[in-house]
Each structure stands twice: as structure tokens, then as C-alpha cells.
A = this chain, B = another copy of it.
Amino acid sequence: MNIQPILTNKQLYPYLLKARYGIEKESQRVTKEGELVTTEYPKKLGNRSFHPYIQTDFAETQMEIVTPITNSVSELFRWLAAIHDTVYRSMEVQEMLWPLSMPPALPKAEENIIIAKLDNFEDVLYRRYLAKSYGRRKQMVSGIHFNFEFDDEMIRKMFELQEEYVNYYQFKTDLYLKVTRNYLHYRWLTTYFFGASPLSNPRYFDGNEYPQEPVRSIRNSKYGYKNHKDVKVSYCSVEQYVADIHQMVEEGKLSEEKEFYAPVRLRGGSSVADLANQPIRYIELRNIDLDPYQPYGISKEEVEFLHIFMLFLLWTDEKADPDEWVAQGDQLNDFVSLEAPLAQTACYDEAQRLLTEIREFIEQTKLAVSTEILDHLEEMLEDPAQTLAGKIYLDSQKSSQKELAVQQGLSYYKKAWQAPYQLAGFTNMELSTQIFMFDAIQKGVEIEVLDEHEQFLKLTAQGHNEYVKNGNMTSKDTYITPLIMENKTVTKKLLQRAGFCVPQGKEFTNKKEAYTSFAEFQNKGIVVKPKSTNYGLGITIFKVGADEKDYINAIDKAFNEDDSILVEDFLTGTEYRFFVIGNQVKAVLLRVPANITGDGRHSIKELVAKKNEDPLRGENHRTPLERIQLGSSEQLVLHEQGYDLASIPSKDETIYLRENSNVSTGGDSIDMTAAFTDDYKQVAVQAAQALDATICGIDMMIPDKKLPAKSPNAYGIIEANFNPMMHMHCYPYKGKGERVTMDILKLLYPDFIE
């Protein structure tokens, strides 16, 4: 089949740079000093019997990070970032990940390399077999498995554009086989550029043959972790591939299919045998060394190169019999792997030729890729010191490879702990959703972001789907419940009838009726407000009662904002937010209006700027707290107290810049969960029940929380919130905080999360 005219056909153009990617990445857990840990798999993580994102490889110390299948490089890296963040912050605080493929110094006694303590005994038995067959030391090497799938539409279009094949499945399989054989033939090129295991660390080779270090890639050389020499599998056809693997297993040369450690695996169904009935769906490249200069072990550049390389391998024809072609590749790769990292490669000319061909291919298919990648590859070809192996070797010379690894590892560790509330990769989403996603990843609940801008997630665990918006809108509440809470009048009616204290009052839909009701409201504190605004517009408060003229003005002001207005009793006390989930109060928060405390020296403006330096303060619900603004509202509030921005408050004097206490306008959040007795919490729980709400925020005014909740006017419920912010509970300004996101996850998957 003459493939080049097909690949240059205009119809293919939109699909060439589309693909699906997935990464599995192993890393050893080490101490911050670079010593292999002796602790077990982190307890905070969900059970690894089914964890979709975080697994263990051979050893108990060897974490395996598994991304979901992604549709773009950026999405792939978001997931790498998010899962890494979760792994870092689920391990003991003194542990980090070792950034090299070659393990850190190993224990003197091999049996101190602890095999992963998996629940499934078969999995343990398999690892015991590996330990016996290859030795535990060999198994401690780590790498990246890169799963690559061409866009399905691209393959379909290609099929339509050719005439040789009548069977689509066969066509697809043959395309992948070609790419696979070509990759096996040319993979020495990736070893040259991205090989990253030039040196071993102490005791890796204890008792085994070892190479003359430094090399380009111990891991990809014959000294790396490979099958025994008698394992031979042909890639000439899928049938042969399947038959060979089965034969190896039958003859006992492999204990089972998965022991086949080829640099490329063909992937279809769940077992190798499934390839007989369905086309190859994707291929798994297994020869990628960890790049210690990258926080997630691989650079975007490398992934982008691999995509171009896959397309090129589809484009370029094989130049020998399939088995021969692959065998040549094995030899070349063995050779390049063991070259000294700073030496020019013996395959220099061939590499040069390939890069030129790749450039031509890009030009002919008009592939919209930056030329920087190829420029960089050419630089690396000219200057081996710029290859990964070259850099690692040189940097290791400055101190030691261990020092390099510790230094790199620590920098990634610090990054993960720097803003522990955020989830790397998803920091553009709202903080509550980031925290919620962190918890889901930690516990092994699969996430799909259905709509990023809308904080819309799909969760899956135990075959059960749940949809969640804003981290708090779930199937556990009914359609009508948020509508009840959205409507202040309805909320109040239901609470009142259920026997709760709510501000007494009246709704008006015409001014005249409101005016003539003055008599009912005189002589007491009242609030006049539009029915359906939440932002303070049109609200007038008369703390000790109004005269008729002011009352009428307030009515007019409220009617300017809405067709319906409310006149309600003014409640005194402190406002607390009770966060109810299920039938429990999971958190109580006191919100204090935006404020600063004077030091007798700095102006209000300076004190605000200083308070805003706190990294917990940001904007738009992406941090636990919001920065205090100095807009007209704040200046008005200052003005009413006789201050302006230049005023210098005296020492320890606290000055408020807002009347409302919302965290979203710079307020402080103070965790009061432990400060409340159960009786107030029960009021909140029962109020939520009266509104038929599973997840909600109940706002209560409480004059004196030491009084029993049953005392007259001990509390007044002023609002029920159907979209209560969660991050302010998780990371309060003061207090320990409550992980309400995890409570919601438990609500959705009660049997799944311990």
C-alpha cells in the first residue's frame, strides 16, 4: 500500500495531530534525604486492588501513577500533575518520589526490598516469582509506559482512501503493526535523545553483570530489566505475536502474558488473546526512561516528538523482512544504549538522515507542529551533552547522581506542598472542585471533567456513575430542594411551619400595601430587602425601628431592585454557617467581615496590602480566602467610621472594611465546628430536613452560643444555601478546618470510601 498519498490527502489533515494518550509512570518512594523508605503504601490512598490512578509496581516502595486516557497533550499533563499532587500529599510528609529510572541505593540484603503487599494473593505470588526469576534488585528500576492511539476518525478516513484492504479491522491492525515494527527498529533514536539512566546507584547490580558506566540508558540496555534471552516473539503478524506469547507461556519461559517485557506491546482487549478477535486499539511504548528534569518524569516536548515520530513511522516504509527489521532495531538499540553519554553516537549519520526525513514528512503533510522540537533534536544530535543522559551525567559529576536526584526530587516535593489546597493541573477550576477532585483521586474514584468552566464532573466507582457540579450539587438532592432554598419566602414558610425560629415578616408585591403595613413593623428592628437579590443592593436595616418616612423610603429603595420585597424582623447576634451533609453538621464557620488590625504605624491601605500578601488570599474562589478590595463599598464603610485609606489605626485596633461577612468579599473564615454543642447542630440538621435538603449551608444568627438552642430566641435561621462554598471550611483562616469535600464523596459512595 502506498501510504504517502493517503497521508497527504487533505481530508486527513484535521486528524493527524489528534490522538489519545495515556501514561503509566513508576517512581520509588524515598526520604527527603534520598533513602528508600521502609513505610507501607500510603494509608490515605484508596485500596490499590482497584485504584485507577495510583498503584504499586513490584515493590511496596514503588508507586505507579496511571493517567486516564486523554485526548490532548495538555490534558495528559493536567492528569500527570493532578495525580502527582495527590500522591505527594497522600504520602508521609517526610517522603518524596525519586526522580530517576535507576533506583536509589538499595538495601544490602535483597530480602529487605519488600515486595508490594497486595490484597490479591495471585499478584503477590507473581511478584515472588519475578523476584526469584530476575532478582529483586532488577525489578526496582522505574520507567514510563506511554500508550498511544491514533485518532479513530483518521484511520477510518485512511481506510476510505485506500483500495487494498476490504476489512477495516485488518487494515487498522496492519497500520499499528507497521508502526510497532518501525518503532522497534528506530527506537535507538529515542534512546539517544531521551535515554536517562547513565549511572546506577549503590547495590543495583550486586551479584549481577554490569555495564561500563556511564552509558546512555542502563534501563534500555541488555543490563536493564529484560526478559530472558530465550523469550522470542515475532511482530510479523498479530496471529504470530499471539501464538508466540502463548507458546512462551506454555513452555514456561514466561510465567504469564504480562511477563513479556517488550519495548512495545500491542493492545486490544484485556488479554493478548483478544487481539485475535479485534483490531489493535493502541500500542504501549515501554522504553521511556524517567526524565529527572521534569516534575512528572517526561516533558511535553518528548510526548509531542513521540506523536510526530508515530506518524512518521506510519509514513516511512520498512526496509527488510519484519522479523529481520525488528532484530536490527534490537541490536542498534543495545548498542546505542551502552554508548558513553557524551560521545557522538555511532548512528550519527542515520540519525541525521532520519531527522531530515521527518522534516520532509512534516512539510509534505503540512503538519502544524513547531519546528523547535526538531531544532532541539538536531542540537542534541550535534552535542551529546544536551541529551538527557549527557545532562544527568554532567550534573552528577558536579556532586553525585544522588545529590542531583535529591535536589530535583525536593523541588517537586516543595512544589506539591507549596499550595496544599490546590490541585495542580486543575487550578483554573474553582477551589472547592479542586479539593473535591483531589479527594476523589486519592480514594480512587474515577473522574471525568465534563465541563471545566462549569465545574461539572462525572464520577465513577464500582461501576456506578455520579454527576457533580460545583462539588456540592449532586443526585442526593432533588430538583425541587434548591428551588425551595432559592426562594426566600418559601424557605421561610417551610421552616416556620416546622417550628424553627425565622425572622418574622411579610412579602409585598405592591408599594401601597407595604406602606400601609407600617403599623405592624414600627417600634422594632427590621430589615427591608428585595426578595431576590443576594448582593446587599436595596437593603435597609433599622436596628431599633424606623419612623414612617424612613420606612417608606426603604420600601421604595427595595422595590427599585425587585417586584417583590420582604420586610422582616432584624435579628441580633453573630452569624454562623452550619454545613449540613446527610443528617450531620460537618462544619461550622464564623465569617468575619474583611478587616485589618492596626499596629500604630501603618495606614489602612498598607495594612490591607500586607494582609493580602498571604498566599491563601487570591481571587475568584481559586484560593481559600479572597483579597480585600479597596473599592467604593470598602471606602464607604471606612468613611462611615470616620476613616479613610490613609488613616493609621492604633495598635491592636481592628477595623472592618465591609458590613457583610462573606469570604468572597475578603472576609475571614474561622472554624467553629468544635466550639458548638450538639443542640445547635441538631437545629441545623433538622432545618435541612424540613427543606428536604441533603447538602446545604444553614445560616443562623446566634446571640449567645452558650445558651441552650432551646432557649427563646436562641437562634434565628436567616438563610439556607443550596450552593454552599466548601473550600472555606477545608482551609479556614483560623482553625483546623473540616474536609467537607470528602464527606460528600462518602455520601456518594458510602460503601466505597472507608
Contact = CB atoms under 8 A, between A and B. Distances in A.
A712 to B, nearest CB: 15
B484 A467 contact: yes
A199 to B, nearest CB: 43
B480 A467 contact: yes
A517 interface: yes
A520 B14 contact: yes
A369 interface: no
Interface string A327-357: 0000000000000000000000000000000
Interface string A464-506: 0011110001111111111110010110011000000000000
A225 B453 CA distance: 73
Given A14-B520, A453-B564, A484-B467, A479 B489 contact: no
B480 A450 contact: no
Chain copies in the assembled complex: 2
Contacts of A563: 453
A454 interface: yes
A293 interface: no
Interface string A165-208: 00000000000000000000000000000000000000000000
B456 A483 contact: yes
A450 B691 CA distance: 13
A498 to B, nearest CB: 11
B469 A480 contact: yes
Most B CB within 10 A of own CB, among A13, A451, A469: A451
Contact of A483 (B473, B481, B490, B494): B473
Contacts of A482: 479
Given A481-B479, A692-B475, A517 B14 contact: yes
A483 B469 contact: yes
A544 interface: no
A674 interface: no
Most B CB within 10 A of own CB, among A368, A454, A456, A479: A479
Contact of A490 (B10, B450, B476): B450
B520 A490 contact: no
A450 B491 CA distance: 9
A451 B487 contact: yes
A509 interface: yes
Contact of A480 (B474, B484, B487): B474
Interface string A663-692: 000000000000000000000000000001
A453 B509 contact: yes
A465 to B, nearest CB: 9
Interface string A357-371: 000000000001000
A487 B457 CA distance: 12
A489 B456 CA distance: 10
A519 interface: yes
A194 B554 CA distance: 44
A13 B456 contact: no
B490 A456 contact: yes
Contacts of A368: 516
Interface in A224-252: none
Nearest to A469: B483
B487 A479 contact: no
Nearest to A691: B467
A478 B480 contact: no
Interface in A513-541: 516-517, 519-520
Nearest to A564: B453
Most B CB within 10 A of own CB, among A466, A480, A494: A480
A520 B456 CA distance: 26
A477 B478 contact: yes
Nearest to A484: B467
A662 to B, nearest CB: 23
A456 B490 CA distance: 8
A445 to B, nearest CB: 16
Interface string A428-469: 000000000000000000000011011010000000001111
Contacts of A484: 467
A91 B484 CA distance: 36
A520 B483 CA distance: 41
Interface in A4-41: 10, 13-14
A493 to B, nearest CB: 6
A450 B519 contact: no
Contacts of A478: 474-479
Contacts of A450: 487, 489-490, 493-494
Contacts of A520: 14
A482 B476 CA distance: 13
Given A453-B563, A456-B487, A490-B451, A474 B479 contact: yes
Contacts of A456: 483, 487, 490
Interface string A551-564: 00000000000011
Contact of A489 (B451, B493, B564, B692): B451
Interface in A398-453: 450-451, 453
Contacts of A453: 509, 563-564
A633 to B, nearest CB: 26
Contacts of A467: 480, 483-484, 490, 692
A481 B483 CA distance: 13
A365 to B, nearest CB: 13
A482 B479 CA distance: 7
B564 A487 contact: no
Contacts of A517: 14
A391 to B, nearest CB: 34
A505 B477 CA distance: 32
A692 B467 CA distance: 10
A225 to B, nearest CB: 38
A519 B516 CA distance: 67
A80 to B, nearest CB: 22
Contacts of A692: 467, 475
A18 to B, nearest CB: 9
A66 B14 CA distance: 70
A410 to B, nearest CB: 36
A564 B466 CA distance: 25
A720 B474 CA distance: 19
Given A467-B480, A478-B479, A483-B473, A13 B519 contact: yes
Those 6 A-B pairs whose CB atoms lie nearest each other, nearest first: A477-B479, A475-B478, A14-B519, A14-B520, A450-B490, A467-B480
Given A14-B517, A453-B509, A456-B490, 7 more contacts: A451-B487, A456-B483, A467-B490, A475-B478, A475-B481, A478-B479, A479-B722
Interface of A: 10, 13-14, 368, 450-451, 453-454, 456, 466-469, 473-484, 487, 489-490, 493-494, 509, 516-517, 519-520, 563-564, 692, 722
7 contacts: A14-B519, A450-B489, A450-B490, A451-B490, A467-B490, A474-B478, A478-B478
